[in-house]
Structure 1
Amino acid sequence: MTELPQQESSEDAESASELLEEVLREFAELDSSAEPLRVELVASEILGEWWEAGDDLAAELIESAPAAPEPGRLVAPLAALRSLATAEGQREAAGLALEKLGLGEPAWAGALNQVTVAECWRTADVYGDESSVLCVFGAGEAAHGLLVSIGYAAFGGWADEAVIVESPAEVVAEMQSQAAESGDLVICERISPGRAHQLLADAFVGTELQNEPEVSDDYVRFRALALARIRALPEPEPADPPQLLSTEDEAEAIDEFFRASADVEDTEAARVCVLRLIEFGVEHDPRRPLRVGPDKLAAFVDFVDDGVIELTDEQDETLEKVLPAWARWGAFRAGLPSDAVEPLVEAVEDRLYERALETESTIDSYLDGFEELDEHAAVALLERRQFAVPSVYTEIAGEEVELDPSDPEQRRLLVIGEHPDFQEALAEDELDEESFLRVTAHTTVVDQLWEDEPAEVWQAAQRLRGRGLERTEVLDELATVLEERLETGEGDALEFDLDEYLRALAELG
């Protein structure tokens, strides 16, 4: 067991060495008179690949410089890292490493990120969901721009695309044309470089704070250069502070909403829905917590569906009435133009319709084999099977997947998805006997609950729920009862005495 990590470490080191060698070759192909922008693009693409892979090879390259057998080959990449490394400490370390080498630098080295800021532009939809910021650097034919797309549906705003454009004047013309053709739905304005700095810096922070942000390939490729250009902008202007809402403020907003929304019944479930909408705004749109927009409200629905925002069945059902009314109330509260209100409400209703179709498809999986049940029997069936398998989504090997619980093999994967501590060992076929019995017991209990065979399993589960146990605790109790009775039969198959098992279940709860 002690040799395996050493072997993997050796392989990792060899792989890193090969990657660094490839980088040295790429920089060797750049002659001393190469255009600075070309060098920046090469370095940014390399840094993007490292960032996407989660490898800090920049630090390794810098640390290896003093003992490098051919130090001259490190001069060019170190010079690039001195300007383009995304961490300030690495930029400083790269500079120190260059000084210690004491070798001549390429002609382009001193010109990296030495740019003059020209004009900055911004477009934004009237709802505040999306914005694009363009910063122009240089002038004439040598001018280039940084164009960043920012979404404000969640996470306080975050950049999902960034690209270096060669003809910024054409982009400005396109931005102006888009605004002119949209009526009142898109604005285009020239902004100060300090304002652009603030918007872009905040957006990149919003992206970097996410574990696995959904960004474009261009974002990865141009990320390091974009961050360098942002540093070249003047000091950022102060951002608007978060809009703090006290409990009294939230209660007042809820009351105001119901006074203005006569078509929504003022119930406890509806009030919880509105409170969750406000809380979502406070967390993900702190400067404008009550703002409404198609993307923001769709993001709220996504968070509900993913279980990040928890609603009871009654509250979830009420959401269908609350959300369009919230969109309309928020639009009038914000003074949105009349042309923007109906598209907003329609977008929300479309998202709810899509959700209903998804839910209907999911319910069909849970009703598999029992399509002709009356309403009472269908509700009872759904309660039992959704207790056994609460979601058709799970994460396997870091990937979110949608599975069909009516398929025994896919149902087993849904159970395994709830036990990430077993997944790696299962994938490597290295599960120890104790863990194997535990997984077997859990998957078998879920199958028994799904099929209601034996019925005593669901009866015991209901008694345990009546004692106040959570679902995971109930499943653990049931699995323990079964696991203690599993024995190896013919052909190494696992067996258990049904009568003994039923007696033990009867004692639970």
Structure 2
Amino acid sequence: MATPQTPYDAVLHAARDVPKLDTALDAEMLGAALLGSVYAVAETDRETAVREFVAGFLAATTRRRAAAATTVRAVFAALVPQAAGADRVRPGAAAPAWSGHLGRVHLTGCWSYGDVYGDQTSYLATFAYDDAAGGPEHAMVTLLDHNIGIAKDVFVGGPPARILEQVRQMCAGDELTWFREEDPARMRGEVTRHLAITDNLGELPAEGSLATDRALMGARLAVLPGGATAATAPDSEPLSAAERTDLVRRFLAAPEAARFGLDSVDGAELASLHFCISLLLDHAATFPDADPLRWSPTVTGFFLLDWVHRRAVLDMDDAAMLPRVLRAWAAYAARRRGLPERAAAQTDSSIEEMVPEFARLYSTGERRSPATAAVAQLMADGVDPDDPAALDAWIEANRHRLTDDSA
């Protein structure tokens, strides 16, 4: 057998048996898997890469008359109708009976579920072909990760009734999860917004079927209604200075602050207290939703074991104060958001468990960024950062070391 000469020939070879498939759904899933390889290897703007590949494929195979070629063309045109030339694709003379049903589906239900902390949300939509001859009903489940702002995984399969029942039972048995019927327009907007970030990642999530199902997910999203709630929403704005001040004042007057002894802090500790609170707010502002009250075991781990070491220089008073402030703030945030007591307790326990590792990372400085490490050394050498002359002298004296460290 001859080796395929072009990527398009390779696709035709891989899809040579597509006319033998039983349903349009089988063909769409195979087509999406083939396009998934293009999506996975693209370095940036993967959606555009797939669209351009399909356009190139359609142009290169215009004169192909074999059943496999004409059928794959129809499948790709249904999956990526925005590709140039897709609107001119017609079924071949030997097209399978199901080819006229490609992409012709309608929504039959829409739900969402997730954890009460707000770390992740999953959207579940079910679809049926307009004509049952197109294939069975099927479900699309999309997992959104709000901590990194991406669509982390997608799954297309069935039977949808079984998937829906499994999700219902899972959420009903766990007070730390929620489940509800969802507005399809909201699903379309939220998934589209997160996909726009995912499509430009330098590296895709390692597990799951995101790449192989991405094209089919895009085709199914296009079936959902649009409208105002489906529009791409901008990320939330961080708090203004006045809003931060008001939130800090409310926190320090709250029972959670008193429980951890923060209401009686004075003297030298007072500066550390306010510095630690400012770090919590700065960290929250780095998330897509910028919600200062969204704290979970996962978010506290990001903060305490990674972000704060890379972004802040702590003295010993700050390091001693920070876990206590974080525990109080997380408890305050949980009450403000109405989370179950068990959710608040899990976050508090996770912080306690992380304190030894936080202390170790603080003492070793192994996760400091180069800039943070330089500032820490400057302070250790007793240099006042607000004294320009002293700062210039320190930089000149340490220029060789700073240059070596950055090499």
* TM-score when normalising by structure 1: 0.61
Q: Which residue of structure 2 aligns with residue 203 of structure 1?
A: 194
Q: Whole-Å Cα distance in 1 between the matches of residues 237 and 402 of structure 2? A: 44
1:114 matched to 2:104? The reply is yes
Q: Runs of 5+ in structure 1 lacking a partner?
A: 1-14, 364-385, 395-462, 480-509
1:151 matched to 2:141? The reply is no
RMSD: 3.7
Q: Whole-Å Cα distance in 1 between the matches of residues 284 and 200 of structure 2? A: 18
Instruction: Check 1:120–1:391 CA distance in 2 against 1; reply closer, same or farther (3 A cut).
Output: closer
Q: Which residue of structure 2 aligns with residue 51 of structure 1?
A: 39
Offset at 1:19? 3.5
Q: Which residue of structure 2 aligns with residue 460 of structure 1?
A: none
> C-alpha deviations, 1:247-287, integer Å up to 9, x for none?
11012212322333132446333323322322332331436
What is the aligned counterpart of 1:138 among 125, 128, 141? 128
Q: Which residue of structure 1 aligns with residue 286 of structure 2?
A: 283
* TM-score when normalising by structure 2: 0.75
What is the aligned counterpart of 1:338 among 309, 316, 341? 341
Local SS of the residue matching 1:124: strand
1:424-439 correspondence runs (5 A) = none
Instruction: Check 1:162–1:330 CA distance in 2 against 1; reply closer, same or farther (3 A cut).
Output: same
Matched AA of 2:160: P
Q: Whole-Å Cα distance in 1 between the matches of residues 307 and 274 of structure 2? A: 16
Q: Which residue of structure 2 aligns with residue 299 of structure 1?
A: 302
What is the aligned counterpart of 2:183 among 192, 198, 220? 192
What is the aligned counterpart of 1:95 among 86, 110, 114? 86
Instruction: Check 1:259–1:161 CA distance in 2 against 1; reply closer, same or farther (3 A cut).
Output: same
Deviates more, 1:111-120 or 1:296-305: 296-305
Q: Which residue of structure 2 aligns with residue 495 of structure 1?
A: none
Alpha-carbon contact 1:48-1:221 (below 8 Å) kept: yes
Alpha-carbon contact 1:65-1:71 (below 8 Å) kept: no
Q: Whole-Å Cα distance in 2 between the matches of residues 211 and 322 of structure 1? A: 35
> C-alpha deviations, 1:57-113, integer Å up to 9, x for none?
76356336556696336533432332323xx7xx330315647xx965834444222
Matched AA of 1:160: K
Q: Whole-Å Cα distance in 2 between the matches of residues 26 and 320 of structure 1? A: 56
Matched AA of 2:140: L
1:207-218 correspondence runs (5 A) = 207-218=198-209
Offset at 1:31? 0.9
Deviates more, 1:119-128 or 1:232-241: 232-241
Q: Whole-Å Cα distance in 2 between the matches of residues 137 and 334 of structure 1? A: 34
Local SS of the residue matching 2:226: coil
Offset at 1:297? 2.6
Q: Which residue of structure 2 aligns with residue 63 of structure 1?
A: 56
Alpha-carbon contact 1:16-1:57 (below 8 Å) kept: no
Local SS of the residue matching 1:135: strand
What is the aligned counterpart of 1:81 among 62, 76, 83? 76
Alpha-carbon contact 1:149-1:161 (below 8 Å) kept: yes
Identity %: 20
Q: Which residue of structure 1 aligns with residue 386 of structure 2?
A: none
Q: Whole-Å Cα distance in 1 between the matches of residues 192 and 304 of structure 2? A: 28
1:225-264 correspondence runs (5 A) = 225-235=216-226, 238=229, 242=236, 245-260=239-254, 261-262=257-258, 263-264=261-262
Offset at 1:326? 1.6
Instruction: Check 1:110–1:300 CA distance in 2 against 1; reply closer, same or farther (3 A cut).
Output: farther
Q: Which residue of structure 2 aligns with residue 174 of structure 1?
A: 166
Q: Whole-Å Cα distance in 1 between the matches of residues 50 and 178 of structure 2? A: 42
Offset at 1:331? 0.8
> C-alpha deviations, 1:352-408, integer Å up to 9, x for none?
444446x38x94xxxxxxxxxxxxxxxxxxxxxx7xxx65999xxxxxxxxxxxxxx
1:353-392 correspondence runs (5 A) = 353-356=356-359, 359=361, 363=364
Q: Whole-Å Cα distance in 1 between the matches of residues 141 and 195 of structure 2? A: 13
Alpha-carbon contact 1:161-1:215 (below 8 Å) kept: no
Local SS of the residue matching 2:103: coil
Alpha-carbon contact 2:139-2:159 (below 8 Å) kept: yes
Greater C-alpha radius of gyration: 1
Local SS of the residue matching 2:239: coil
1:349 matched to 2:352? The reply is yes
Offset at 1:330? 0.8
Q: Whole-Å Cα distance in 2 between the matches of residues 393 and 468 of structure 1? A: 19
What is the aligned counterpart of 2:117 among 99, 105, 127? 127
Alpha-carbon contact 1:154-1:296 (below 8 Å) kept: no
Alpha-carbon contact 1:153-1:297 (below 8 Å) kept: no
Alpha-carbon contact 1:197-1:236 (below 8 Å) kept: no
Q: Runs of 5+ in structure 2 lacking a partner?
A: 44-48, 371-388
Instruction: Check 1:267–1:50 CA distance in 2 against 1; reply closer, same or farther (3 A cut).
Output: farther
Offset at 1:466? 6.3
Q: Whole-Å Cα distance in 1 between the matches of residues 398 and 30 of structure 2? A: 51
Instruction: Check 1:205–1:280 CA distance in 2 against 1; reply closer, same or farther (3 A cut).
Output: farther
Local SS of the residue matching 1:45: helix
> C-alpha deviations, 1:164-210, integer Å up to 9, x for none?
1211111221222122211x322111122223222322332342353
What is the aligned counterpart of 2:393 among 467, 476, 492? 467
Q: Whole-Å Cα distance in 2 between the matches of residues 61 and 267 of structure 1? A: 62
Instruction: Check 1:299–1:392 CA distance in 2 against 1; reply closer, same or farther (3 A cut).
Output: closer
Local SS of the residue matching 1:284: coil
Alpha-carbon contact 1:153-1:299 (below 8 Å) kept: no
Instruction: Check 1:232–1:351 CA distance in 2 against 1; reply closer, same or farther (3 A cut).
Output: farther
